[in-house]
Amino acid sequence: MQVTETLSQGLKREFKVVLPATDLAARLEGQLAEMRAKARINGFRPGKVPVAHLKRLYGRSIMADVVQEAVNEAHRKIIEDNALRLALDPKIDFAGDKDEMEKAFEAQADFAFTVAVEVLPKIEIGGFDDIEIERLVADVSDVEIDEVLDRLAEQNRVYAEKEGEAAIAEKGDKVTLDFVGKIDGTPFENGSGEGVEIVLGSGSFIPGFEEQLEGLKLGEGRTIAVTFPENYSTAKLAGQPATFDVTLKGVAAPGEVKIDDDLAKAFGLEDLAKLKDSIRSNIERDYDAASRRKWKRGLLDALDKKYAFELPEGLVAQEFETVWRKVEAEQKGSGRSYEDEGTTEEAARADYFKIAERRVRLGLLLAEIGEQAGVKVSDDEVSQALVARARSFPGQEKIVWDYYQKNPQALAEIRAPLFEEKVVDHVMALVKVTDQKVSKEDLLKMTDEDESEAQDEAGQA
């Protein structure tokens, strides 16, 4: 086998591979000889089948195996001899026309093909003490804990069914409705419901809807007119006037709300003090997660600015396709157009291409930092993350577990974010960090970037 490098430009490499006809013939004859010793064909004694007969029967399929093995051997030789770290799988281009290929498969001509690869860039990792990160922190106040207690108590409020003359909907009551929503007199998609419960005054429905239910009697119907908010999540309904034909199927008056040990026991805790401790811990965990999202983005921004190196075009293209498919799916689901977003498809593609480049750059950088630092993700850590993933699909846990266990690539998608978080923590321990006390509002304020990263984390969880 002859392997010749024909291109070395940036991260791109190309090699021409030639397998002489004599080598093809020798490999074919070797395969046929092995087959002859094992072949069982009617009319011939075991081990006595003529090689020429075997070649007529199986020569083509054996040569296909020979060619595939030659391609695999060329891959290994190219990678090992040149100490290459590939960004993606090699691309194979078989040289020659149809007649030349036929002759090669008959071992009457050399078999030639080219192997094109992209290699990973060499990244020089320096120190990180020149990076300064501000970490936002917020304290949990007693007022916040009391607000959560109020919500929990409200959620566990007991309602008593109203009957007879008293069965009239009032603010604070829990009502059960059947309704049909219409625009211009025509029912719209997902605008109907049966047995829907609403607490009047909770603001959980379209503005103006709940107020118009007040005074409605049990079993009575009414047509309610509302207007969808301009920022409504479904674009085709946003700002649209609509009517709802509603029927009151049930009404219940609110009971007294109590915040005591019994409330705590309803959540499986010993007493009110334990419930407060649990609430504080949950809020602190949420604050820590919000803080991490912000300082992690700051750290990644600093790394992105600090390091510049050539990116494998194939990896960027692959990442862009992943990002763009998600953008198109979200746009289709929301019904919004590029014009609605104040941009054009061309401009949007350019923006998301830059995002793809950033992701590839940071991914390669974190991988290199992690490798040099000896960062490892244990099998136990992967198993714990997989258990958490499986539990997010109630009733299908075993199916999810088996899928990942049988698909190494899918399992690698579980391991990758664990590795990234460990590398981020490693780097964070090496940079200059300053804690900045802020209000909970400032800490929890979500920028577009924060929302995007939160969605990515949700997709990985």
Model pLDDT for residues 133-169, shown as the tens digit of each residue: 999 999 999 999 999 999 999 888 899 999 988 899 9
Q: Which residue has the tokens 């001899």?
A: 81
Taking the CA atoms of residue 26, residue 28, residue 34 and residue 37 in that order, the dihedral angle to the nearest 10 degrees is -100
Closest C-alpha to 121, from 13, 224, 270:
13
Q: Residues near 383 by Cβ (< 8 Å), separated by ≥ 6?
A: none
Mean pLDDT of 239-265: 94
Q: pLDDT band at 64, cuts 50/70/90?
A: confident
Domains, the chain, with CATH or none: 2-118 (3.30.70.1050), 158-256 (3.10.50.40), 274-460 (1.10.3120.10)
pLDDT computed for residue 448 by the predictor: 54
> In whole angstroms, what is the distance from residue 259 CA to residue 276 CA?
11
Rounded to an integer, the average pLDDT of 385-414 is 92
* pLDDT value of residue 406: 92
**Contact at 8 Å (CB) between 88 and 312?**
yes
Whole-prediction pTM value? 0.73
- CB-based burial of residue 369 (10 Å sphere; 0-12 exposed, 13-18 middle, 19+ buried)? buried
Q: How far apart are CA 135 and CA 131, in angstroms?
A: 13
**pLDDT band at 458; cut points 50, 70, 90:** very low
Signed CA dihedral, 186, 190, 193, 199: sign only: negative
Q: Residue 352, Cβ neighbours under 10 Å: how many?
A: 16
Return d(Cα 226, Cα 242) in angstroms, integer: 5
Average pLDDT of the chain is 88
Q: What is the pLDDT of residues 308-342, one digit of tens each?
A: 999 999 999 999 999 999 999 988 887 778 888 88
CA separation for the pair 157, 49 (Å, rounded) = 87
123 CB neighbour count, 10 Å cutoff: 15
Q: Look at residue 357 and tell me whether its pLDDT is greater than 50.
A: yes
